[in-house]
Every structure is written in C-alpha cells, then in structure tokens.
Structure 1
Amino acid sequence: MSSLLEIKDLHVAYGKVEAVRGVNLVMEPGQIVTVIGPNGAGKTTLLAAAAGLLRSRGSMAYDGVDLQNLDVEERVKRGFCLVPEKRELFGDMPVADNLILGAYAHRRNGTEVKRSLNDVYARFPRLAERRTQKANTLSGGERQMLALGRALMSRPRLLLLDEPSLGLAPLIVREIFRIVASLRETGVSILLVEQNARAALETADYGYVLETGEVSHQGPADELAHDPRVISTYLGGQN
C-alpha cells in the first residue's frame, strides 16, 4: 500500500527561529494519525505547512504528488482540508451558508453540493436543526461540529484537524472524538493535532510526539499510550 502523505526532513521557520526541525511523518490511506506534544512544540506549524499556508523546506508528497508544487487551492481540489484551531466560521452567516461555502471547490456541481449537505445534516442532526441560525449563536460544541461539517462539504480524502477539543466541556469532547473516529468509516484519513493526549491516542492508529519542533517518540497509538515516558509527561494528570 502506497502512503497517502509522506513528509521527509521538514523544516519551518519564523524568521530565524526554526519551529519545526527535520520532521518525518507517514500516513497510510484510512489511518488516523495524531501529533501530540506541549504548547509551542510546533504542532500547528506542522499542519499549516502541510496545508500550504507556511513556506517550508524538505519534501511532502500527497498520494505520490509533490505538494511543494501545489498551492492551497490545488491541495483542496485534491482532497486536502484543514480545520483550524480557531474554526474560523462566518459568524454572521447562517449554518447552512457556512456549510455551502465548504463546497466551494465543487460549487459548479449543484447535485453533489446538495448530496454533501444532506450527508452532513445526517451526521450532525443538530446542525440540521439550526440550519437557519447564525454561526455566532451556536455553542462551542456546535461550532466545532459546524467546522467539521464545513470541511466534509469539500469531500476530503485527508482531513487536518487542529485541536478539535479546544475549549470544550468533557462530555462534548467525547462526542467530538466519537465523530472523528466515525469518519474513518467514510474512507477519510485524518491527521490530528491535539493537546488532549489521552483522547487523541485512544482515537488514533499511530502517533507522533513533537517536542521543541522535533519528533521525540513515535509508534502505534496504543503502544504510545502505555509508554512510561509518554505517560509521565502527557497522561499522568489527565482524566
């Protein structure tokens, strides 16, 4: 099986400060891969570089195609989709309009857009109930569902999720991770950046630990969850 995403010796700098140094990462089709680590480790920078939002050095191949030659829009057309940490919804627009904007790359195919919208409403019934509500009136959990739903409107093959549990109550966090895990059934591969290491490792197939811009540990997620070094640093105080 060929890799869906392969990152080799990735370097990303802000001016003279290197935030990501020599990172290697591989994803297979249908996998959920998580990147965990402390604040400032370079996790979000890694996702932004993969999405084409930041310049980088090294090589990135997506389904065998060199990503360095593709701009953001072209990556989206090929099934790349980023759900940013701040969700970046259009607060004054209704839920339905936010979702339809997610189908921009397929906007000329009205039948496909309608089918995608119905699929999202079936997966997120609360969004169907609130389709005419403005996005800025939703709860935190509903806004995260809307951000995920908008991403799914683009029919992604690879979903990049940046801190989907940020700022959510524990019950909502469990629901969000249940939804993330269920996306595997649709054939979507997921690269998940998350500070809730326990929830991330319980959801993922494979994991990377990023510290000060470099990969310090990696392995199958269940093995990392039982690694004494990971437990003492990232899991010891979590419930």
Structure 2
Amino acid sequence: MSTGALLQVADAHIAYGKVEAVRGVTLEVAENEIVTIIGANGAGKTTLLNAIMGILPFKGRATFAGTDIQRLEIEDRVAAGLSLVPEHRELFAAMNVEDNLRLGAFRIAKARAAQSLERVYTLFPRLKERRRQLAGTLSGGEQQMLAMGRALMGAPKLLMLDEPSLGLAPIVVADIFRTVGELRSSGVSVLLVEQNAQAALQIADRAYVMELGEFVLQGSAKDVAGDARVAASYLGF
C-alpha cells in the first residue's frame, strides 16, 4: 500500500460462511478525492463497504488515516472519521428530521454538533424546511438527503455512499451527485458505490470496476469511462 492515502485496503477477502463474496481486493482513497466502485448488482460492492465499516469481518489489511482499523469497533471507526450511508438509509421513520440528524452527532461535542447541523442545512436546505417533519413521510430523495446529512453530522473525513441514486428520479439524482461534489470541495473524501455508472464516473476522480467479487479494471474515471468493455456493459454505448 502506498503512503499518503486516507483509506487503504489490501488483499481483502470477505466470506459469508464458506462462500467467498470478495476476493483479493485492494483499493485506496486519498484526501479530497472521490473514488467510485461500479458494477452489477451482486458484484460484492456493498459487502466491501460493510467490511470497511466493521459490519462484516474480513481477512486482509485496512488502515484509515494511518491507523490500523481491523480491530476497531464500528463506533471507534466513526469517531476516527469514517462514515457509511447504507443502501436502505436506515432512518428512524417515527422521529422527525432534526432528531434523526442529531443522532449522527452523538460522539461529538454540543458546539461541534450545532456547527454540523448548520452545515447540513446549508448543504440540504430542504431538510431545514422539513426539520419538524417525520422522516417516514419524506420523499425518497429527501430521505436520501437525510441519510447523508446524518452521516455528515459526525464530521467524517471519508463518507462512504452505498447506491445513493437507487430508486430516485433523475432530477433528484443530479442534486445528490452535485452535493457529493461539494463535499469534496469542503474537504470530505467520498467512496461511492453506484450502479448508475455514468453519473458516478462523471464526478469521480478514480474508479474501480467490480465483477464477481474482484476488481477487473481500475484507473482514472476518465480512462475507465473510455474503456470499450465498460462502455458496453455499464454505460449503454
């Protein structure tokens, strides 16, 4: 693994029982970088994110901000600056927007939490408008914004997003991805798992293509987008 990367994963093997879902994967995310992992459903993308977050065990090496995180609990990874927005958002539907957001700041001081809340409301003005509304009554796009906002409340250094465009209208997807670009400008790195390869490659700096638990291609987002196999399989060209 090279020096200077924010997140480094080397030779990751992840299994469900005797079935190996991810085999020998190595990846890096640098500071102020957007990296995307694209691939078909079932390729192992979500499994990899869950392992990095500590939800699943894996064999291999993983460091974050220079610290070995293999033995860290999920809460300690969050405290170190690593955060995950899961595919299904996992909001508390019976709680209002602001209470959901505040749950994301339980590990930081009240003063910092207040700053984080204002930052989230600046990124997502619609959440501020609906701060007293129950999370379960929000639209799909608003729920995705809330899930991202809750993750950002802990002031992460790296935000991992699992299929943020899933089930959303194109205009909402454009808003979400525009916000992802703004996060990089504010100093937050992003690891983006996405089936919408075209949208992901447009905003990413680098990309990995995952098939059947392995990376089959990696490089700059521009180069990956220009690969004939990627264009045919994922971009519809």
TM-score of the pair, normalised by structure 2 = 0.98
Q: Which residue of 1 aligns with 2:6?
A: 4
Aligned to 2:87: 85
Q: In percent, how many aligned pairs have the same letter?
A: 58
Match of 1:68, as an amino acid? Q
How big is each residue's C-alpha offset from its partner over 1:106-143, in whole Å with a ceiling of 9 and x where there is no partner? Answer: 1xx22111111111111111101000000011001000
Letter aligned with residue 62 of structure 1: F
Task: State the alpha-carbon separation in 2 of the partners of residues 114 and 3 from structure 1.
Answer: 30
1:214 aligned onto 2:200: no
Q: Which residue does the alignment assign to 1:23?
A: 25
Tell me what 2:183 maps to.
183
The SS at the match of 1:104 is coil
Match of 1:162 in 2: 162
Aligned residue number for residue 98 of structure 2: 96
SS at match of 1:18: strand
Aligned partner of 1:112 in structure 2 is: 112
Describe how 1:14-53 pairs up with structure 2 within 5 A. 14-53=16-55
AA matched with 1:223: D
Identify unmatched segments of 5+ residues in structure 2: none
Q: Quick one: which amino acid aligns to residue 22 of structure 1?
A: G
Deviations 1:145-190 (A, max 9, x none): 0011111100000101000000001111111111111100110000
**Gaps in structure 1 of 5+ consecutive residues:** none
1:46-85 → structure 2 map (5 Å cutoff):
46-85=48-87
Q: How does 1:223-238 map to 2 (within 5 A)?
A: 223-236=223-236
Say which SS state the counterpart of residue 25 (structure 1) adopts. strand
2:129 is matched with 129
Worse-matched range after superposition: 7-16 or 111-120: 111-120
> In structure 1, what is the Cα distance between the partners aligned to 2:197 and 2:235?
7
CA RMSD of aligned residues (A): 0.8
AA in 2 matched with 1:225? A
Letter in 1 for 2:235: L
Report how far residue 85 of structure 1 moved. Answer: 0.2
Q: Which amino acid aligns with 1:81?
A: S
Question: How far off is 1:23 after superposition?
Answer: 0.2
AA aligned opposite 1:192: L
| Amino acid aligned to 2:139 | S
- 3-state secondary structure, aligned to 1:103: coil
Query: TM-score of the superposition, structure 1-length normalised?
Result: 0.97
Q: Which runs of 4+ in 1 moved over 6 A?
A: none
Tell me, in whole angstroms, the C-alpha distance in 2 between the residues paired with 1:39 and 1:117: 34
Shift of 1:69: 2.0
Separation in 2, partners of 1:8, 1:94: 40
Q: Distance in 1 between matches of 2:71 and 2:32?
A: 24
Q: Secondary structure at the match of 2:70?
A: helix
Superposed displacement of residue 104, structure 1 = 1.0
Aligned residues: 235
* 1:229 to partner: Cα distance: 1.0
